[in-house]
């Protein structure tokens, strides 16, 4: 008997999204439609070239079942509903279109499971608000994968993905758990990745944001790799560890207890000899928008809700907002005008 494959849409096919598509397709239990942007022409013509730690090097001409440069509009195009929409784009809620606006045409109410494989906290809330009857999964990806040129992927750190349901008032918990466990099954079917069901997604998210809100953010402000930060010592003592402590404190106020040992583990997470530049730092150096709102802005707002002071995070947040404003100006989304309203004019 022929097995019916899950219909999966991946939105955001850079390094992380491409490797997700590859794992799903090669596992044989999913039929993937990938939405591409700047790399669409190259991939449509020649497919992806992949050098992968998990799947092997020298992979050439590979394509998922379908590639397109627009979001499928299921209703207007008469398509069968997608079982899963997997979002692996950068999460930049201060730039439109937002994730909700992007995926809306591809989501079938009450049918499509939405899997958010993005950084930061509270990323699921606007999705739940817009699609209250759909299962929403929260995914924490620990992969190292980069698109070095259009359609060329370097995957150099093992694909580890934690998946768990995000609670919604209009979705039965049993249905959400079943959708999460099914996704774990089809993602891990290739046998070469580590995809696991996560019973405590909030813990995993706050743990990852402890790294991203400190190392990723400070690297972006200073344009500095993690090795130089550690070798300088004072950047760790004056910026990284204080930011981490504020995240741990805020997480505790939100009901997530991170052990103090997590900070020492994350400070030493990157090998000292690789001079790694985190993703947000790479984005700012390329002139791209940065995904700081859910990584730093949301923790600051959560701290304020609980009456906590986070001076280091708030300062970092202000600096990142300034960098984003410069990018907006460069891309024509903001124009400084003396005549515009403002309390400092």
The CATH number given to whatever domain includes residue 164 is: 3.40.50.720
Place 343 in a pLDDT band, splitting at 50, 70 and 90: confident
Let me know whether 272 and 141 are in one domain.
Answer: no
* Residue 232: Cβ within 10 Å count: 13
**What pLDDT was estimated at residue 1?**
52
Looking at every residue in the chain, the average pLDDT score rounds to: 96
Tens digit of pLDDT for each residue in 23-66? 999 999 999 999 999 999 999 999 999 999 999 999 999 999 99
- Domain boundary among the residues 199, 226, 246 is at 199
How much is the pLDDT for 338?
82
**Shortest CA distance to 295 belongs to which of 212, 201, 204?**
212
Domains held by the chain: number: 2
End-to-end CA distance of the chain: 72
For residue 268, what pLDDT is reported?
A: 96
255 and 151 in one domain? no
**Assigned domain for 344 exists:** no
Q: Which pLDDT score, from 0 to 100, does residue 2 have?
A: 59
Do 36 and 141 reside in the same domain of the chain?
A: yes
Q: Is residue 326 part of a domain?
A: yes
Give dist(CA 21, CA 87) in Å, integer: 11
Q: How does pLDDT run across 139-194, given as a tens digit for each residue?
A: 999 999 999 999 999 999 999 999 999 999 999 999 999 999 999 999 999 999 99
pLDDT, tens only, 263-282: 999 999 999 999 999 999 99
Report pLDDT for 299: 98
Among 170, 199, 228, the domain boundary falls at: 199
Judged against a pLDDT cut of 60, whether residue 312 lies above it is answered with yes
Residue ending a domain, choose from 199, 230, 245: 199
In degrees and rounded to multiples of 5, residue 339 shows phi and psi of -85, -10
Whether 340 maps to a domain, the answer reads no
Q: How many CB atoms lie within 10 A of CB 1?
A: 3
pLDDT at 3 over 80: no
Range of the domain at 254: 202-330
Domain assignment present for residue 341? The answer is: no
* C-alpha span between 120 and 294 (Å, rounded): 5
% of the chain surpassing 70 pLDDT: 98
Instruction: Compute the distance between CA of residue 34 and CA of residue 12 in angstroms, rounded to an integer.
Output: 8
Same domain membership, residue 68 and residue 118: yes
pLDDT tens digit sequence for 136-153: 999 999 999 999 999 999
Burial of 205 (0-12, 13-18, 19+ CB in 10 A): buried
CATH number at residue 217: 1.10.1040.10
Q: Is the pLDDT of residue 125 over 70?
A: yes
Average pLDDT over residues 105-114: 97
Per-residue pLDDT for 98 more than 80? yes
Could you tell me the pLDDT band of residue 341, with boundaries at 50, 70 and 90?
low
- The model's pTM: 0.95
**How is 65-111 classified by DSSP, letter by letter?**
SEEESS---HHHHTPPPPSEEEE-S---TTSSSPHHHHHGGGPPTTT
Cα–Cα distances (Å) from 137 to 35, 85, 109, 116, 165, in that order, read: 20, 10, 15, 6, 4
19, part of any domain:
yes
* pLDDT band at 340; cut points 50, 70, 90: low
């Amino acid at each position: 008997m022929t097995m019916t494959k899950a219909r999966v849409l991946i939105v955001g096919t850079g390094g992380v999204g491409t490797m997700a598509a590859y794992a799903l397709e090669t596992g044989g239990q999913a039929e993937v439609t990938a939405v591409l942007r700047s790399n669409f022409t190259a991939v449509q013509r020649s497919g992806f070239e992949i050098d992968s730690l998990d799947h092997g090097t020298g992979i050439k001409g590979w394509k998922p079942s379908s590639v397109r440069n627009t979001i499928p509009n299921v209703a207007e195009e008469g398509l069968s509903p997608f079982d899963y929409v997997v979002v692996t784009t950068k999460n930049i809620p201060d730039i439109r279109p937002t994730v909700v606006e992007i995926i809306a045409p591809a989501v079938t109410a009450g049918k499509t499971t939405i899997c958010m494989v993005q950084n930061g906290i509270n990323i699921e809330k606007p999705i739940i608000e817009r699609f209250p009857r759909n299962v929403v999964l929260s995914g924490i990806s620990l992969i190292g994968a980069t698109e070095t040129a259009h359609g060329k992927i370097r995957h150099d750190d093992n694909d580890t993905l934690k998946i768990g349901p995000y609670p919604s008032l209009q979705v039965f918990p049993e249905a959400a758990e079943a959708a999460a466990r099914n996704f774990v099954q089809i993602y891990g079917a290739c046998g070469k990745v580590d995809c696991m069901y996560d019973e405590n997604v909030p813990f995993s998210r706050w743990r990852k944001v402890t790294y991203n809100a400190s190392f990723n953010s400070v690297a972006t402000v200073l344009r500095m790799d993690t090795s130089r930060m550690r070798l300088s010592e004072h950047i760790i003592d004056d910026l990284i560890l204080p930011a981490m402590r504020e995240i741990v404190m805020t997480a505790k106020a939100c009901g997530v207890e991170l052990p103090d040992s997590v900070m020492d583990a994350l400070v030493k997470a990157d090998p000292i000899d690789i001079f790694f530049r985190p993703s947000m730092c790479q984005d700012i150096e390329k002139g791209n928008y940065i995904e700081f709102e859910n990584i730093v802005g949301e923790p600051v707002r959560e701290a304020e809700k609980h009456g906590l002071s986070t001076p280091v995070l708030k300062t970092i947040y202000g600096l990142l907002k300034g960098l984003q404003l410069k990018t907006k100006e460069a891309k024509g989304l903001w124009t400084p005008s003396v005549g515009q309203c403002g309390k400092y004019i």
